[in-house]
Structure 1
């Protein structure tokens, strides 16, 4: 038995379950997809639900929306969980749906929770029945659809992206929980300071807010006033977990902050990643990349600092290793920038891939007898590039940091030529 089997709530259920909306009118947020006149609202109200994927952060209302659909549809509603789902179990569900469709003309909606965890072979087994309309799929995921689901399955479903609840929605939901007979039934009051803190600290996670509210309420020894310290005690730490989708966005923000020399921003995103359990070696790999890609010849020491951070993380471990990550982050941000190395290599790759493989000039081949060491003979003339591209330039130094000296030397050489 699960929440889809229950028609009424009990005091034994957590506050989050007791307050779960029963209808669309009780559902908060997601007006961009559920507002009056929106497609998703229409197909739910008219019981014309088609295969869809509900993607969004934790506690944004995916499961509640699926529950509302289960209560309003005349179709058979089957709930599965991708974590434990096998091909055999899925085929049995599909066969039952096929029989019901043939014998009774009845539609079957299959909701798959955590669909991102479904193995690719199970996704492939699901594909034909979705395509044929044997089942209507509702997939729920907190993760990135692009990275975790096979494209053919995604293409056969409409994707609806749910957003984290905003400040006003969260505040209204918490107040309703305090007042509702299904919630705390006006047995407790909450100070404005505690309410503001709870709305902020839950980070859009309603379930987390409800858990903290209930814990704070029932931990009172006397009185019925929930104050700031009660909420603080109920929270061990701010909720900063990262889904796959958030992960790529936060990594992108970190990388762009490094490139843009935004030290404070880079440190913030670094702290977000570390606090959420991102592998520090993954972070340091990004630092190593940016030390060459964005700083490059403007400050060659940046690469050494990044490699030192990598060695520190491996040698010292965490949490002390995070200081080395911050050290490298600040150094890269505050360094002058040059992407001439990145551009030079890109131009060389473009030449290699778009032209035939030119032979190595004879005077620099491994077996060459005409090679002259330019260090001992600075005025010697050697052929280093194939004759067909001997005038091609790939590296253009930028007038930045240490590379400014190379830039000046190249400028002087060009004047002489």
Structure 2
């Protein structure tokens, strides 16, 4: 059997598109009896729907099911290659169908985020007057990529990557139809289907594409783990803007939670997805100050060294350096006291009257300096290198070290200075 024995043009995923909710796999949170989406469809009361979620999770299939369930004409466009004139042509056809036959039309626009603001807004009038029942699909966050006007007129449903069990159930249930569509009689072993279901990243379309390639290139009547592994090749990652920030968030929060295993996993995930190693290094440096701080001052030193090292070394060895920095920061004692201190101070600077710099702290060469209003006392001339001296002019407390790691010693030192200040106060009062 060779590739040339199969002149099929339509992808297998399109051929096997589900006819109804009964053979739609996954997304139970949306398709279950009594769910908002099911009620909206069964009661035929929606005007605009937006499906958002990763590739291969069923957005187009759901749109097709909706059109069949509501007995409506179905016009499918892709925002990648469709112009405003094509949209207007579709709307005109929908308007004529409504006037002459009373039939409704579902206008489905895939990758709707590819339309600019003007193109998206051009749909609003026809959605509102009922010319079309609009369904848009996007892999991006609608709040960022779609206009507020379109979002406000739409029910927005989020599809999730399919669980491995859902993908496996889909493949097993559709196997007879797959073989018929491909005009083949082959068998897939359990181990191979399990591997594919777990490694297609929740993308049913990708799983079916791999199955199709495996069948077309089969050298025997049985396809197993090795054949599917070869056809899958490199795992695909959905690593768009949302995934970038979500992965970074999980990475930081795992370090903050002192879980080195989770932190290293998300590090590996970002590296495998092609994340910029300098971005990762910058996040570690920020974390070392924000979340470790003076509880272990060496964390920042190590993070800075790691950032310099990965810039010099590059991948793949940079992964080792990053792993060292990540595991150190994840297991270091934690304190956000320095982070909180500067934020509290900034809040006062922004919202309160600026403090006048005390005369004894000013540069003697500056204009307006008057030594008669107070002399600066050099702390190193005292036994403790500490003197009671006003440095801000008002009572304030920004830096409050925690009793963890090295900050325990810092707190002890600050408490000791406070006790010296108290002794000075008592001596002055006497």
Give the aligned partner of residue 417 of structure 2.
413
Shift of 1:192: 1.8
Shift of 1:252: 1.9
Shift of 1:62: 0.5
Is there any run of 5+ residues in structure 1 with no aligned partner, and where? 1-9
Return the index of the structure with the highest Cα Rg.
Answer: 2
* 1:316-359 residue CA offsets vs partner (Å, 9 max, x unmatched): 33333333322221221122211110111122123223322333
CA contact (8 A) 1:177 1:184 kept: no
CA contact (8 A) 2:72 2:104 kept: yes
1:256-267 aligned at under 5 Å gives the runs: 256-267=253-264
Shift of 1:297: 0.9
- Give the Cα separation in 2 of the matches to 1:81 and 1:331: 48
Shift of 1:84: 4.3
User: Of 332, 350, 355, which aligns to 1:353?
Assistant: 350
Shift of 1:130: 3.9
Is there any run of 5+ residues in structure 2 with no aligned partner, and where? 1-6, 423-430
2:197 equivalent to 1:193: no
CA contact (8 A) 2:47 2:130 kept: no
1:260-339 aligned at under 5 Å gives the runs: 260-339=257-336
2:208 equivalent to 1:215: no
User: Of 11, 14, 18, which aligns to 2:15?
Assistant: 18
- Give the Cα separation in 1 of the matches to 2:14 and 2:94: 29
- Deviating more after overlay: 56-65 vs 37-46: 37-46
Count of residues in Structure 1 that have an aligned counterpart in Structure 2: 404
Q: TM-score if structure 2 supplies the norm length? A: 0.83
User: Of 405, 408, 421, which aligns to 1:404?
Assistant: 408
- Give the Cα separation in 2 of the matches to 1:125 and 1:333: 50
Q: Mark the CA change 1:271 to 1:348 in structure 2 (over 3 Å): closer, same or farther.
A: same
- Give the Cα separation in 2 of the matches to 1:218 and 1:101: 44
SS at match of 2:55: coil
CA contact (8 A) 2:97 2:103 kept: yes
SS at match of 2:135: strand
SS at match of 1:78: strand
SS at match of 1:240: coil
SS at match of 2:51: strand
CA contact (8 A) 1:240 1:272 kept: no
- Give the Cα separation in 1 of the matches to 2:278 and 2:392: 39
Q: Mark the CA change 1:125 to 1:385 in structure 2 (over 3 Å): closer, same or farther.
A: farther
Shift of 1:393: 0.7
Shift of 1:128: 4.9
User: Of 59, 70, 79, which aligns to 2:56?
Assistant: 59
Give the aligned partner of residue 161 of structure 1.
158
CA contact (8 A) 1:291 1:306 kept: yes
User: Of 391, 397, 405, which aligns to 1:393?
Assistant: 397
Q: TM-score if structure 1 supplies the norm length? A: 0.85
- Give the Cα separation in 2 of the matches to 1:54 and 1:127: 17
- Give the Cα separation in 2 of the matches to 1:161 and 1:184: 32
- Give the Cα separation in 1 of the matches to 2:381 and 2:162: 72
Root-mean-square deviation (Å): 2.9
Shift of 1:375: 4.3
Q: Mark the CA change 1:288 to 1:135 in structure 2 (over 3 Å): closer, same or farther.
A: farther
CA contact (8 A) 2:64 2:74 kept: no
Shift of 1:309: 2.8
Shift of 1:233: 1.4
